[in-house]
Structure 1
Amino acid sequence: MIVFYKVRAVIDSDLINHVRSASRLMVRELGFMQATLAATDYPPSSVHTIVELGNRESLTAVELVALLGLEKSSVSRMVRKLIEAGEIEEVTNEQDARSKKLQLTDQGRQTLCAVDAFATQRVGAAMAHLTEVQQQTVSEGLGHYAVALRTQRLGTQTPAATLEIARGYRPGIIGRMVQMHASYYARYVNFGQPFESLVATDMAELMGRLDNPRNQVWAALDGERIVGSIAIDGEGEGGGAVLRCFILDDSARGKGAGKRLLAEAIKFCDEWGFGETRLWTFKGLEAARKLYEDVGFTLEQEHEAEQWGGKITGQWFVRPGPGKALA
């Protein structure tokens, strides 16, 4: 199957507007528009401070400023009020005698327990309206989005998370391969329902033949979520193989997942000694073409055709097997 490999995705304006709208709704529903938060008498910044001090045991005022992203004067006033209220206290900083550390008092820990109980109930009740798959999507998506917001604010780039490459069928892989193909190509080349239906049929048919050891599939995993795939159909004509199902989710691009998936597939082909490995794609996918050529594929033929709602130039790439390569 074809792949349109792109390092940096174009962010659609409708997507941005949807995220903004959802963010505003979350702010309202979580109570951040109110003067107090989480069934306490404190504003959101104070509640956030109590929670973070509970998670970290202690923080200096400087660390708290950096964590909250607030002005030093605002944090100083908030800290003073929480000390006066008996929620936090200053203790000696053993690493730096010039500064003090802030930590929760016994009262503060009781307040933290009440905040945690309130938040757990609210989040749990809301998540109960979602399926298990939706719950996982919300958890992973919010985590990625929160890190991206912090990266943008600080002007730094966080290290790319290492993705796992897993071999073999796993529940949900057919649906995810179809979804990734359909979503990506609808955005970038306007392929619609006929393309999605074809991908669904092809993926289901191939997965039904994995009992033949000459066929195999690999998935790139971010935790338990499938964010990339590639497959080898080892029942091609003349004893050859066909590389198929190569696709990455936008969240997996730029992390080396494409190269790793391709390397696993090529290693599999060489171990089986296929006479050749072929793949079909179309002209214009230069980043993908470089990946293919880097592992030994060469363009064999191309032709123009009307397909999936537009005119494309189809291309066949071929990579000789290890025996032919040495001949």
Structure 2
Amino acid sequence: MDGFADPEHPLVEEIRAASRSMARDWGFMGGQFAGADLSPSAVHALIEIDAGDISARDLGVRLRLEKSSVSRMLRKLVDSGDVCEAPAEHDSRIKLLSLTPPGRRRVSAIHAHARAQVAAALGRLKHGQHRTVLNGLRLYSEALAGVHEVRPDPPAVDVTPGYQVGLIASVTRMHALHDARGAGIGQRVESAVAAGLADFCDRLGRPGNGIWTARQGGDIVGAVAIDGDGPGLGVAHLRWFIVDEGLRGRGVGRKLLASALDFADGQGFAETHLWTVDGSSAARHLRESHGFVCVEERPATQWGQDVLEQRFARRRA
């Protein structure tokens, strides 16, 4: 390590001094941080929440804050109208966080302020020094992360369009595990999902039909489809939307939904509809955050159980 593990090495004090100076210049010592009337931890919390659905526990891990500190900070952000909470679909004890419209506007202003601050600093450097700054900050950040013994992040989740080998079996399994609420239901769910999905995959070559899978480390962990072959003129149907239970609340569903709706808009569909049953408030919040509105409700029997079916509609952006 070239002797730099020694706390008495001269460069250690120089780096500490540079770090303190940077903290002052960023505004950590007081005043408005990132152009907002919020504490640095609250600003970072909003940015993390904006990146995708995240639980309060995961937020504390990312920010390295104790549970009580996270709770107090989130209560202030909820009371200010910047953040809202909803129970996770797979576990109501887990609170998923998302930004409200005012919260998204606040984060946009924070990003704009920070970009201007960085651009102004880079503008004072000589040609060729910008990449040196970036590489140095990355190396130093990675070294500090090692001090905190941060576990490696799990493999990234990528959203891929089109049919993938194993898609029908993987998506069928996720739906069966999610919907199997009683004896014998699992088999009926599997048969219905597998048959419908297989038929749809045979129609993927038609304009207006598309499917997207979320993959992590080679495994299919989520999916969604846009079926444009429905009887409604100018109406697409969003179908087979599912995310593996272990990844819910981590932004995977948001990525899938955004890909599908971008496709539907690009194909010129005036509206996108989806049928579901009344259930998770977190799932409903995700739909509504993408412009879906509940336009119809009706009692029905599904897999031998009485449910309230709901039709959501979204007009083209």
Q: TM-score with structure 2 length normalisation?
A: 0.51
Name the CA distance, whole Å, in 2 between partners of 1:94 and 1:259: 44
The alignment status of 1:95 with 2:5, answered yes or no, reads yes
Instruction: Calculate the aligned-residue CA RMSD, in Å.
Output: 3.1
Name the CA distance, whole Å, in 1 between partners of 2:304 and 2:186: 7
Name the CA distance, whole Å, in 2 between partners of 1:157 and 1:175: 32
Deviation of residue 184 (structure 1)? 1.9
* Matching residue within 261, 264, 280 for 2:259: 264
- The residue identity in structure 2 corresponding to 1:248 is V
Deviation of residue 321 (structure 1)? 2.5
SS of 1:251's equivalent in the other structure is helix
Higher relative contact order (CA 8 A, sep 6+): 1
* Residues 317, 157 of structure 1: alpha-carbon distance in 2 compared, 3 angstrom cutoff: farther
Measured against aligned partners, the alpha-carbon deviations of 1:179-222 in whole angstroms (never above 9, x if no partner) come to 01001222699843222211111111111100113100101110
The alignment status of 1:177 with 2:171, answered yes or no, reads yes
* Structure 2 spans left out of the alignment, 5+ residues: 9-60, 62-147
Q: Contact 1:278–1:317 at 8 Å: present in 2 too?
A: yes
Tell me what 1:282 maps to: 277
Q: Within 5 A, what are the aligned runs for 1:223-242?
A: 223-237=217-231, 238-242=233-237
* Residues 281, 155 of structure 1: alpha-carbon distance in 2 compared, 3 angstrom cutoff: farther
* Number of residues of Structure 1 aligned to a counterpart in Structure 2: 180
* Residues 233, 249 of structure 1: alpha-carbon distance in 2 compared, 3 angstrom cutoff: same
Counting aligned pairs with the same residue, the percent is: 41
* Residues 228, 234 of structure 1: alpha-carbon distance in 2 compared, 3 angstrom cutoff: same
Deviation of residue 97 (structure 1)? 9.5
Tell me what 1:212 maps to: 206
Name the CA distance, whole Å, in 1 between partners of 2:218 and 2:149: 29
Tell me what 1:87 maps to: none
Name the CA distance, whole Å, in 2 between partners of 1:306 and 1:320: 29
Measured against aligned partners, the alpha-carbon deviations of 1:271-327 in whole angstroms (never above 9, x if no partner) come to 1110211100001221111111111111111111122021111111111234xxxxx
SS of 2:165's equivalent in the other structure is coil
Tell me what 1:3 maps to: none
Structure 1 or 2, whichever has the larger Rg, is: 1
- The residue identity in structure 1 corresponding to 2:206 is N
Tell me what 1:321 maps to: 316
